[in-house]
Amino acid sequence: MFSPKIYKERRNELKKKIKSGLILFLGNDESPMNYTDNTYRFRQDSTFLYYFGIDEPNFAAIIDIDENKELIFGNDFTIDEIIWMGPQKTVKQKASRCGVKQTYSMSELENILKNALSKGRKIHFIPQYRHSNMIKLQILLGIDATRINDYASPELIKAVAEQRAVKSREEIEEIEKAISIAYEMQVSAMRFTKPGMIEKEIAGFIEGIAISMGNGLSFPVIFSKHGETLHNHYYGNKLKAGDIVVNDSGAESFLHYASDITRTFPVSGKFSQIQKEIYEIVLLAQLTAIKSIKPGVSYKDIHLKASTVIAEGLKALGLMKGDIKEAVKQGAHALFFPHGLGHLLGLDVHDLENFGENNFGYDNKIKRSSQFGLKSLRYAKALVPGIVITVEPGIYFIPQLIEKWEAEKKFEEFINYQRLNLYKNFGGIRIEDDILVTNNGSRILGKPIPKSIEEIEEVASNKI
């Protein structure tokens, strides 16, 4: 945990933004895999962690705005639980570590909330993503569990999102700890991967690094020679010389701050000429985007700038044609780049995602597009200092999408389908780093991870 002062300052800042009522925070509970005592690895709710820091199941908290009180709810371990789990600190001791003095058993939570509701007081809560907490809120507040998120507090969503989006010095340090683990995950994978191996051998090796150095993965490893499948979690392919693989993976620090890094590298250690050509376009798009990041610039504009670099590079290879500005405006480039440039990063690998992207990534000035590719941009607003965002352009050759667009004669004025048929088995390339928006520009966080063709070939050729 951070110091109690940090959690108190965070709660005090939140209190300034909520006018009245009670703010209810539900921590997460254990989630069984196949029977009650055999659970998945516990992961605390990130907003609960942000304001209270208690990284254990079966906790809740209330901030009473009107009475300026902070309450934590939890149960001390019974002797039977201590036999299985060992000695534990009391709820009051745990609460003191985040600067909260008043504690109650979980059974008191319902009574306090019902008393508040009987007096017509507002109960604020954020959107829920776990069904167990949706059911819990139904019991506590009398709202149909299937409609819980319809009643989430817009006022609280905005306040928490604004606060969590801008990272403190301590948070940046935690993210960089997570990136230092990702460095090992990426470099070790380049050296470990050899022709004849099955993808799962490397995916398991990568996950082992995350577990041994931090709090495990920040999301399931994406490791595949079929990089054209954006989130490919299938690890059954056998690798051969000439293949390239996408390694999109990240770790959590011990305080649950995430990293998210992608590198694409050749299995044999050397790119082919055609792979180099596509890789250089993606790298130039990424470097151009990073250079463009500064406060006040909308991330949508940076996404479109990276898209233009990609389209221009593909035109130089004869895969696109015509007026490139118009091609990007109409979305023809999205055949090759069908996702957004990046997303926020913090306590969640897609930070604040459970709040709904339109609630934090868009505003009255920048509305979400309905255009294929651009509609997948998770964050589009103007950047502000302290935001951490990923920059991850890619070029993908998706056979099914190519065939569909060609059959529809879609964007024939911009796409050279005849030449494109030569690339159908290429796969995909993505390059991703985690970027801090500074007061006058940006900074790539963490130790530099090999990214140029020369750097990657040097590491990937030095097998272990």
> What value does the mean pLDDT take over residues 421-438?
97
Structural contact between residues 311 and 333, judged by C-beta atoms closer than 8 angstroms: yes
Rounded-to-10 torsion of CA 227, 319, 332, 289:
60
Please state, in angstroms and as integers, the Cα–Cα distance from residue 42 to each residue in 27, 61, 135, following that order: 11, 18, 19
pLDDT at 99 (0 to 100): 98
User: Residue 295: which of 128, 170, 411, 166 has the closest Cα?
Assistant: 166
Sign of CA dihedral 104, 71, 167, 303: positive
Q: Summarize pLDDT for 362-410 with one digit per residue, the tens.
A: 999 999 999 999 999 999 999 999 999 999 999 999 999 999 999 999 9
DSSP secondary structure, 264-294, as one string: EEETTS---HHHHHHHHHHHHHHHHHHHH--
* 444/366 Cα distance (integer angstroms): 26
Rounded CA Rg of the chain: 24
DSSP secondary structure, 11-73, as one string: HHHHHHH--SSEEEEEPP---EEEETTEEPPP---HHHHHHH---SSS-EEEEETTTTEEEEE
pLDDT at 161 (0 to 100): 97
SS3 421: helix
Q: Summarize pLDDT for 191-219 with one digit per residue, the tens.
A: 999 999 999 999 999 999 999 999 999 99
* 454/320 Cα distance (integer angstroms): 27
Q: What's the CATH number of domain 169-461, 3.40.800.10, 3.40.1190.20, 3.90.230.10, 3.40.50.170? A: 3.90.230.10
For 4-165, CATH number?
3.40.350.10
In the chain, domain spans = 4-165, 169-461
User: Residue 244: which of 217, 274, 221, 219 has the closest Cα?
Assistant: 274
Q: Summarize pLDDT for 138-196 with one digit per residue, the tens.
A: 999 999 999 999 999 999 999 999 999 999 999 999 999 999 999 999 999 999 999 99
Structural contact between residues 440 and 420, judged by C-beta atoms closer than 8 angstroms: no
Please name the helix (run of DSSP H) or strand (run of DSSP E) that holds residue 249, with its range, or none.
strand 244-249
pLDDT at 73 (0 to 100): 98
0.95 surpassed by pTM: yes
